[in-house]
Structure 1
């Protein structure tokens, strides 16, 4: 058994064996403990209605393999007499593993908080959903940046000099990706100013559809014909946007024409007929009806009314009913609708 006393790196073999055994034992112990606690937490979360215990169970289950290994190696190294530099790096690696695990846990906690707020805000204020997601992204970015700087600091890198260098390099990067940054800041403008939110029906130039997604670079709209239209956020904000979802009522301007042969009494009755047709609709509000102009082949009447709902289908239903009533009343009053006609006068002179 003399080989047990053979020295490697200032430590006999038996110490190395104890260290290896302790590393395995600690790792197995941590692994089993993690599994038991995660299973108990999962069972407990099934019995309750709150979501916080689900979060705790998920955090325990998501504990990283490398964290357990780093802690096991750190505990096992305490049985050895190693060079100060080696002990320093073993301790640093354990701390870095803790930082990385902390970042993972922090990211999951942020995701949990964001998802809870999204569920609460989705029905009451869809516009707040995009803002919450954006703040969550910024929170994650800040968390990961802080952890990254802490890791670099523990590795002995001068963080102050690095930050100063990043500031100079950041200017060059910003110039190279200015279009992307422009879309990013435009997305923040959309999220904070809320010219539209998910679910709004909008018209952008010649394109129209329902907003499906507002991202950090692009916004996606589902058109009426089914395809998805993708806009960069900068282009979208530079366009003229008409948001029909925020229309409280719809103003409708329509016109009809009757023949020139219509008697004066019938012409005077037409505005009243139109008014009665509109007022018969509960979802409509009459504004005006007038004999507007003499056309090329018709006497033109213009009328205006409001549909009390912004819904397009409701507007079409109201307009259909009004048109049918006007058609029926004109038939009863023997008023003829005009259509393009020409009258030719032939002069039969003597030959």
Structure 2
């Protein structure tokens, strides 16, 4: 009978009614405030997803209705007088609800941030692999701290749990250290950006365009057509030449003319080369010099700058320079050097020469005879 009398107590039902009504009122007020703030921030953002009002609006939009109801109930339960053990339980419930809601807000903020970096809505270009790794690491830390905080607030001893997680983490790290080295190398590529997708790179014997930068490997489409897969850690250990970021191209080429060219025409050759390059579009002339005497030619060295990084453009320019150089040397009556050898024969007689098997007379001139036989390759 006493138990039934407790449930028939008028004050008990009055308190329950007050709590329910207060919970409904408080929930309605909180829900209205959150909804109004969300709409106002969206209106301030003016549809631009890259500004702070839109970011805050999306974070506030992740407010949980269930947690709002829990907050409303907790606020309403403070109206009636409760026993001491109830007050202690309510204090723990407050912390759990608040920790969960903060974790939801931070989770939403991190996801929006990483998505904006990947889609380029912030005006920059970021490696999607790097942003994904960073966002996952931040979310793991956030939810781990939230869980450990809730357990500690509920009176659970988390010292042994933290120690176990530390030992287990070390064991896992030792077991997958090769994979982790590639993952952190991928993170380094995303932060430092030595190359990006679409860049043309050369390292070692590999030359090609970057197709994909993954967590463990980077894939490169080589000039010969096959795909080259290289571990990120091994790739960062090498010297990588990134030709995509080359603004200009310095070109050095040589050519040779005959030894019997007069000195005044040799000077004119240098001037002609300079005039040709200056008249060629997208080039900047540097120098053209008579470099020296080689085995069978007078060697010229020419240096100029191509105002661009495209290789096909450079080849078109070099072809045009070569064609105009041919015409200019013909106008000067200067010939390109041809390889030749001088043979000196020493003896009493010249060897018998045969042409098509028929002996030919050879004229003797003293004990030493010289014969110059040009040979072209």
Tell me: CA distance 1:208–1:66, structure 2 relative to 1, closer, same or farther (3 Å). farther
Counterparts of 1:189 and 1:111 in 2: how far apart (Å)? 21
Q: Which runs of 5+ in 1 are unaligned?
A: none
Tell me: CA distance 1:26–1:197, structure 2 relative to 1, closer, same or farther (3 Å). same
Counterparts of 2:210 and 2:274 in 1: how far apart (Å)? 37
Counterparts of 1:289 and 1:157 in 2: how far apart (Å)? 86
Tell me the SS of whatever aligns to 2:148.
Answer: helix
Give the Å deviation of 1:283: 2.4
The C-alpha deviation readout for 1:177-222, integer Å capped at 9, x for no partner, is 2123212332454466654467754223344455577666455667
Give the Å deviation of 1:103: 2.6
The C-alpha deviation readout for 1:58-101, integer Å capped at 9, x for no partner, is 23222123322332343455578988777655653442232132
Q: Corresponding residue for 1:95? A: 95
TM-score (norm 2): 0.64
**1:165-244 matched pairs, under 5 angstroms:** 165-187=164-186, 189-190=188-189, 195-196=194-195, 201-209=200-208, 217-219=216-218, 231-244=230-243
Tell me: CA distance 1:145–1:100, structure 2 relative to 1, closer, same or farther (3 Å). same
Tell me the SS of whatever aligns to 2:160.
Answer: helix
| 2:310 pairs with 1:312 | yes
Tell me the SS of whatever aligns to 1:63.
Answer: coil
Give the Å deviation of 1:234: 0.6
Counterparts of 2:223 and 2:94 in 1: how far apart (Å)? 56
Counterparts of 2:138 and 2:236 in 1: how far apart (Å)? 25
Counterparts of 1:289 and 1:107 in 2: how far apart (Å)? 69
Contact 1:187 1:233 in 2 (8 A): yes
Q: Corresponding residue for 1:285? A: 286
Q: Corresponding residue for 1:31? A: 31
Tell me the SS of whatever aligns to 2:68.
Answer: helix
Q: Corresponding residue for 2:69? A: 69
Tell me the SS of whatever aligns to 2:156.
Answer: coil
Deviates more, 1:50-59 or 1:235-244: 50-59
Q: Which has the higher helix share?
A: 1
Tell me the SS of whatever aligns to 1:203.
Answer: strand
Tell me the SS of whatever aligns to 1:283.
Answer: strand
Q: Corresponding residue for 2:358? A: 349
Tell me: CA distance 1:240–1:273, structure 2 relative to 1, closer, same or farther (3 Å). same
Bigger Cα Rg: 2
Q: Corresponding residue for 1:54? A: 54
Deviates more, 1:93-102 or 1:171-180: 93-102
Q: Corresponding residue for 2:324? A: 325
Counterparts of 2:205 and 2:304 in 1: how far apart (Å)? 25
Counterparts of 1:93 and 1:223 in 2: how far apart (Å)? 60
Counterparts of 1:112 and 1:153 in 2: how far apart (Å)? 30
Contact 2:129 2:187 in 1 (8 A): no
Deviates more, 1:234-243 or 1:191-200: 191-200
Contact 1:196 1:243 in 2 (8 A): yes
Deviates more, 1:238-247 or 1:272-281: 272-281
Contact 2:38 2:61 in 1 (8 A): yes
Contact 1:121 1:128 in 2 (8 A): no
Q: Corresponding residue for 1:150? A: 149
Give the Å deviation of 1:250: 2.7
Tell me the SS of whatever aligns to 2:46.
Answer: helix
Give the Å deviation of 1:279: 4.4
Give the Å deviation of 1:294: 5.3
Counterparts of 1:87 and 1:228 in 2: how far apart (Å)? 66
Tell me: CA distance 1:64–1:127, structure 2 relative to 1, closer, same or farther (3 Å). closer
Tell me: CA distance 1:93–1:309, structure 2 relative to 1, closer, same or farther (3 Å). farther
The C-alpha deviation readout for 1:119-145, integer Å capped at 9, x for no partner, is 7783xxx79999999877766555444
